Structure 1
């Protein structure tokens, strides 16, 4: 629908600017998912160390560990890996939901300030080689569109991306070591190496949470400022949709 035509007693109103969509909900979802993934990671790290200790005991003296204890250790270790994977995937989905929302708002704030199309919000993470910098560029552009005085202060973004790249690489190496381990001592080493990857991903998760909160907070401020406010005594522009 369109605003009513101008008249001496009923002045016309310009079409309202596009409104920013709320980001608080997706931001909370992303933060909760990242925190949950981090907590699962901590539990998984404890299980890794416990499992490595069981393997060490088997290497030192096979008779010191019962078959039931070995079966329990294998089961708990495998289940922890499954739960850890599920939590990680849930965190990815929640982060992408938030990323799509803040990108849509950023396109309103800076229509020509984005180097990558929306398709790269997903493809940028999975296409080899470009995954090393495309996601960072996308978040950089969202940051610049949302920010004001602090747009050039990107130390937090740099720290997040560096932690993510290092953590993802170490995690990938840890997975390869685990799947290629065929001896007891290799299994223990893989479990301990997984603790290192979990610690690095925890650091990346903390920085990711700070990035989510920073961008979301600024967009919420901008959304409040851009909300239409009627002048005192002015007639409401009926018929707008």
Structure 2
């Protein structure tokens, strides 16, 4: 699962962040204590980890959106009039300013309600996922700005350590996201196994 892979990459990136910050601290304390080769290696590994982290995150986004479209199609069969946002918002809702703060949550809420049997009112998991995602995304944005604007060695060390905080928060969001994916997918599968769905106009089959 892409979310799991992205989480594992995040853990490795956090370890590299701490190692890189330690190297920078040593440079600040005594520049002669760190060789040029060690500095070059630290810069290369740190930069490469950032690229890998970005690629893994992009792959997780794509996988999540593919899943979202699939379960939304199934949810429309179960509740054709129970969705507040049209399908284009499954993507636009994440990138349009302001509305990105709540449109994606509304979409998943509606999918949750359409897919649910007995647990539709228990949305603590959904709320926890969304709050963790909003906080983690904001902190990640701050961490990226700190790194981009860092010019001095101490600023680089601070940015690297702050990135660990952002990774930790995004890991929490990823865990909740995985639980949401498993919950909705499992419920839809259970509904599919119980009775064949009644097709509505525009709905072809279970995805």
Considering the TM-score relative to the shorter chain, is it more than 0.5?
A: yes
106, 113, 122: which is aligned to 2:82?
Answer: 113
Deviation string, structure 1 residues 96-133 (Cα, Å, up to 9, x no partner): 00000000000000000000000000000000000000
CA distance in 1, matches of 2:195, 2:142: 47
Q: 1:8-157 maps to which residues of 2 (within 5 A)? A: 32-157=1-126
2:41 is paired with a residue whose SS is helix
Structure 1 residue runs without a partner (length 5+)? 1-31, 229-241
TM (normalized to structure 2)? 0.94
Deviation string, structure 1 residues 160-185 (Cα, Å, up to 9, x no partner): 00000000000000000000000000
Q: 1:152-171 maps to which residues of 2 (within 5 A)? A: 152-171=121-140
Does residue 182 of structure 2 align to residue 221 of structure 1? no
2:184 is paired with a residue whose SS is helix
Q: Aligned-pair distance for 1:226? A: 2.2
CA distance in 2, matches of 1:102, 1:227: 16
* Structure that is richer in helix per residue: 2
Q: Aligned-pair distance for 1:224? A: 1.0
Compare CA radii of gyration and give the structure with the larger one: 1
Structure 2 residue aligned with 1:239: none
Across the aligned residues of Structure 1 and Structure 2, the Cα RMSD in angstroms comes to 0.7
Q: Aligned-pair distance for 1:149? A: 1.3
Structure 2 residue runs without a partner (length 5+)? 198-207
Q: Aligned-pair distance for 1:207? A: 0.2
1:138 is paired with a residue whose SS is helix
Aligned residues: 197
CA distance in 1, matches of 2:135, 2:18: 22
Structure 1 residue ranges (4+ consecutive) displaced by more than 2 angstroms after TM superposition: none
CA distance in 2, matches of 1:146, 1:67: 58
Structure 1 residue aligned with 2:202: none
